[in-house]
Structure 1
Amino acid sequence: MEADISSQAVGLASSADFSLINLFLKADIIVKTVIISLIACSIYSWAIIFDKIKMFKKINLSSEEFEEKFWRSKSAETFYNSLPSDVEDPMAALFKESMQGLLKSKSKTNLVEKMGRILEVGIEKQISKIEKGFTFLATVGSTAPFIGLFGTVWGIMNSFQSIAISRNTSLAIVAPGIAEALFATALGLLAAIPAVVAYNRFNNDSRKYSQKLESFSKRFLSII
């Protein structure tokens, strides 16, 4: 008799549909909310990742071209007048804003100190634009595993409730809830790992680019 019950439970577990879509559809509202939240965070994280990869590649090339043209120009003012009205490169934007401050300055006393402050503020402004989205990656990397863990705990609680209600400890009763729980855990890690790796890389790229802007600012101050 016990053997028949055991074989029947194994048969039910093996015939159950454990596909990801079916697990999502059978989950309760709490687990569904966790799954949807993690998928949305993962999609937005990847959108930021692809955007930042493209951005860093673009600004590194454009800044090299800008520096090359700048140091070959006859004067800073001549080069400033040749720039278009809207510039996308952060280094070009930094130079343009600092030149605007220089030309608008009526007093020439303490000019180097004034320009130093303008350049410092300009660097912070450009880096803040570059680092837009970094906070989201850091937040996803640190919180997604815990959100997935919450879904895991909730799914296991549902499994225990099913056991208590049915008074049956067979695998067919416990398996769906555990599968939902593990699915939430996997999604949490799937969202967190790329976000952490990308944040560390982009943070390093941002620091290198900040050093490039600071180096340009020091050399630009030397010719004023």
Structure 2
Amino acid sequence: MEETQIVTDLSLIGLFAEADIIVKIVMIGLMIASIFSWAIIIEKLVLIKLVNRNAIKFYRDFWSSNINDIDVAYRNSRNNPMAKIFNAGIKEWNTTFKIHKNMSIEGVKQRIEKAMNVQMNIELDKLEKKLLFLASVGSTAPFIGLFGTVYGIMNSFSAIAASKSTNLAVVAPGIAEALFATAIGLFAAIPAVMFYNKISSDISRVTSNLENFSDEFINYFSRQIDAQMVADDFEDNYESQDEEY
């Protein structure tokens, strides 16, 4: 009666408890990988949602603000990637005009654009951090589970040879344990692959939005520079005419 109970105990806990030590190590490793994967997935989904929400708010505040009040929009969402890119451009603008007052417009634009691109890459690296782990789990977990399956089946055949019986009651538990390892591998891999693709797609959209904002920002300050230069030229011409009279 006791033997029959052991043979028919095909619950998940029972399969794990009766598995060989190697198969147990494989299962535990895959379960740990799955837990870490879900932690990364939740973290990234929350982070990207927060980034998008703050970006929309900052973008709206930026274009609805007066030139003298833009810093208010930055202070309200300074931890947002878009706000940090804006701040990098402003800092480069101020630094350039303090040190290189006679620099050409193209030179100023290039410096601002480069500073914003550097900051954008820093922010994107933060968003993409830990995604490599998801990709690794998605690509390797099925094979690790398959290794556990192969090892479990080998043990099943060893049990057949030792018992000198092809009775299904002898073979079934070992095969079930082996297939359970593959199931855990797929359980870890499938969400990792699905959410890796989704998160990568979301980050691509964030990248596109940041690039568009950077281009708009460059154009905005180009217009400001042009307007300032026209005003300076007009003032110089006006003063020269006064001197002639």
Q: With structure 1 as the length reference, what TM-score do the two structures score? A: 0.88
Specify the alignment match of 1:60 in structure 2: 52
Work out whether residues 80 and 99 of structure 1, in 8 Å CA contact, stay in contact via their aligned partners in 2: no
Once the two structures are TM-superposed, the CA of residue 88 in structure 1 deviates from its matched residue by 1.9
Q: 1:83 to 1:104 in 2, by over 3 A?
A: same
* Pair 1:180 & 2:211 matched: no
Work out whether residues 59 and 89 of structure 1, in 8 Å CA contact, stay in contact via their aligned partners in 2: yes
Specify the alignment match of 1:107 in structure 2: 100
Work out whether residues 58 and 77 of structure 2, in 8 Å CA contact, stay in contact via their aligned partners in 1: no
Once the two structures are TM-superposed, the CA of residue 16 in structure 1 deviates from its matched residue by 2.3
- In structure 2, C-alpha distance between the alignment counterparts of 1:65 and 1:154, rounded to whole Å: 55
Once the two structures are TM-superposed, the CA of residue 120 in structure 1 deviates from its matched residue by 1.3
- In structure 1, C-alpha distance between the alignment counterparts of 2:191 and 2:72, rounded to whole Å: 44
Work out whether residues 94 and 123 of structure 1, in 8 Å CA contact, stay in contact via their aligned partners in 2: yes
The one-letter code matched in structure 2 to 1:66 is: F
Task: Say which of 77, 80, 83 aligns to 2:74.
Answer: 83
Specify the alignment match of 2:33 in structure 1: 41
Task: Say which of 162, 165, 169 aligns to 1:165.
Answer: 162
Q: Which structure has the larger Rg over C-alpha atoms?
A: 2
Report the 3-state secondary structure (helix = DSSP H, G, I; strand = E; otherwise coil) of the residue aligned with 1:84. Answer: helix
Once the two structures are TM-superposed, the CA of residue 98 in structure 1 deviates from its matched residue by 2.4
Work out whether residues 13 and 172 of structure 1, in 8 Å CA contact, stay in contact via their aligned partners in 2: no
Work out whether residues 77 and 83 of structure 2, in 8 Å CA contact, stay in contact via their aligned partners in 1: no
The CA RMSD over aligned residues, in Å, is: 2.1
Q: 1:86 to 1:58 in 2, by over 3 A?
A: closer
Q: How many residue pairs get matched? A: 214
Specify the alignment match of 1:144 in structure 2: 141
Q: With structure 2 as the length reference, what TM-score do the two structures score? A: 0.81
Task: Say which of 204, 207, 219 aligns to 1:207.
Answer: 204
- In structure 2, C-alpha distance between the alignment counterparts of 1:85 and 1:107, rounded to whole Å: 31
Residues 146-205 of structure 1, C-alpha deviation per residue, up to 9 Å, x if partnerless? 011000000001101111122121112111110111100111111111111101111111
The one-letter code matched in structure 2 to 1:80 is: D
